[in-house]
Amino acid sequence: MSYFAAALLFLLMAEGMLAAGLWRPSVDIGDPITLIIVHCVTIGWLGLLMIGALLQFAPVLTGVGLATERFNLPALIAIVAGLAALICGFAAIKNGSSAAGLTMPVATALLAAGLLGIGAVLFTGLWRGRSAHAAAPFVLLGIICLAVTVLLGASFALVLSGATDAPLIVDLALGAVPLHASFGLGGWMSLAAIGVSYKLMSMFLLSPDTLRTQMVLAGGASTILMLSIALFCLFSRRDVIEPLSFISAVVFLGTIAIYATEMRSIYRTRRRKTLELNSIGSVPAFVLLALSMAALVISMPLNAGEGIRAAIVYLFVFGWLTGLGLAQLLKIVPFLTWLEAFGPLLGRRPTPRLQDLIKERRASFWLGGFYLAVVSAAASIAVNTDAGFQISAFAQLICSAGLSFELFQVRILAHVDAVAKSSPFHQPALLIAKINSER
């Protein structure tokens, strides 16, 4: 729950900076302020969200507990502190300050320790139970991509800060930015999200767990293999990187098409006939994933401009990854909260329903508004309209804040009547979820 809270704070921070006009379609995407926003979204929001989800669901996927939970809090502290140092480093670069030479290596060390450390804990647990569920290999592959993303990011940080001028690292930093983004967004976050969604959607929709995921996994692995070859070609054959990147995008689009049919099968064969908010709210995310990947594949041979590429990435990051994350949080947080507060009382006295913990109608308004704002913002980027983008970004911020408030209301059980909270009863802590079946 602490990872989720920190993630939401970074999402609101990034959207607040966008709404304030610190980045606009007319601003260079390589500007240090832009990089601050990008890393607040990728590391602060999406990274912490995915890690928090995996800490909860890795044992569910595998039936095997994680090697240790003692590293969870130190890893969170290291990641947040490292991201704060990274933000300070980018700000120092923007202002021409020599402080970047100190803060960027510190940020690199903290982020590497936190991300690779918690990644190792998750990888070990998933590897031990990799045959228990077809979704586990997706997350394992995603964690490998996380390691590559961190190592590439570390090289960029060291070069930008002037901490190193080693030719090998400089060459890597100058040419691997698109690959850094591909391994992070397409590899780590998307493959892990696909793996988790297989389990979550089957579990919450009560669908038969008979999916054929081998083709999706093979497609994802082939995409990562081609990106890896492109990465090695940075040091010898840079002329083949662009064709390899295009082929990997085409393969990933085909992978997404198969994944979409699997998700359709999950929805069609569900035993839970009435769709809940998280299930309905995930559908636009799947649609925007397919649309953004198709647009990317079309744009590459046409040599589309920077604005078009930025709009596609925006749609992918906020429409697919963020939309899916927010939709699933609307189920995960009430689910964990109900287990913690009322699970031990089940069978001993009447307990509220899971749906009673959240106002779904109000949350659906915020989630629908969020998707509309994202599409509007992406369209504004594509046509290079600063005013339209800023208005859309402000609407996106308001909707994200509304969803965050709904989740806060769930944690404090604001919608549960006093009778249900009478003794014996355990009020959940806001930022720590402790499920104790013996209580």
pLDDT in tens, 403-417: 999 999 999 999 888
Which tens digit of pLDDT belongs to each residue from 361-375? 999 999 999 999 999
**CA atoms of 152 and 291, how far apart (whole Å):** 28
- What pLDDT does 232 receive? 85
Q: Any alpha helices (H) in 161-189, and if so which ranges?
A: 167-175, 177-181
155-159, 359-363, 376-380: the lowest-pLDDT one: 155-159
**CA atoms of 411 and 427, how far apart (whole Å):** 9
**CA atoms of 389 and 107, how far apart (whole Å):** 31
Does the pLDDT at position 292 exceed 50? yes
- What pLDDT does 162 receive? 74
Q: Which amino acid, residue 272?
A: R
For residue 290, how many C-alpha atoms fall within 13 Å in the half-sphere facing its CB? 13
Does the pLDDT at position 65 exceed 70? yes
- What's the token pair of residue 343? 């699970």
How deeply is 190 buried, as exposed, middle or buried, from its count of CB atoms within 10 A (0-12, 13-18, 19+)?
buried
Does the pLDDT at position 436 exceed 70? no
Q: How confident is the model at residue 39 (pLDDT cuts 50, 70, 90)?
A: very high
Does the pLDDT at position 438 exceed 50? no
**H-helix or E-strand spanning residue 293:** helix 277-299
Q: Which of 149, 153, 167, 209 is nearest to 35 (CA)?
A: 153
- What's the token pair of residue 162? 């002037």
Q: Which of 213, 215, 49 is nearest to 133 (CA)?
A: 213
Mean pLDDT of 122-131: 84
Mean pLDDT of 233-242: 79
Cβ(48)–Cβ(41) below 8 Å: no
- What pLDDT does 209 receive? 66
18-27, 65-74, 189-198: the lowest-pLDDT one: 65-74
- What's the token pair of residue 24? 């606009």
What lies within 8 Å, CB to CB, of 35 at 6+ separation is 90
Does the pLDDT at position 60 exceed 70? yes
- What pLDDT does 225 receive? 94
Q: Which of 193, 178, 156, 150 is nearest to 309 (CA)?
A: 178
- What's the token pair of residue 150? 């961190």
Question: 398 or 95: whose pLDDT is higher?
Answer: 398
What lies within 8 Å, CB to CB, of 399 at 6+ separation is 366, 367, 369, 370, 373
Q: How confident is the model at residue 132 (pLDDT cuts 50, 70, 90)?
A: low
Q: Which amino acid, residue 49?
A: L
Does the pLDDT at position 348 exceed 70? yes
- What's the token pair of residue 70? 């003692």
Give percent helix, percent strand, percent coil of the chain, each to the nearest 5.
Answer: 75, 0, 25
Does the pLDDT at position 437 exceed 60? no
DSSP for 38-80, written as a single string: HHIIIIIIIIHHHHHHHHHHHHHHHS---S-STTHHHHHHHHH
Does the pLDDT at position 270 exceed 90? no
Q: How confident is the model at residue 211 (pLDDT cuts 50, 70, 90)?
A: low
How deeply is 366 buried, as exposed, middle or buried, from its count of CB atoms within 10 A (0-12, 13-18, 19+)?
buried
pTM, entire model:
0.92
65-69, 157-161, 169-173, 183-187: the lowest-pLDDT one: 169-173
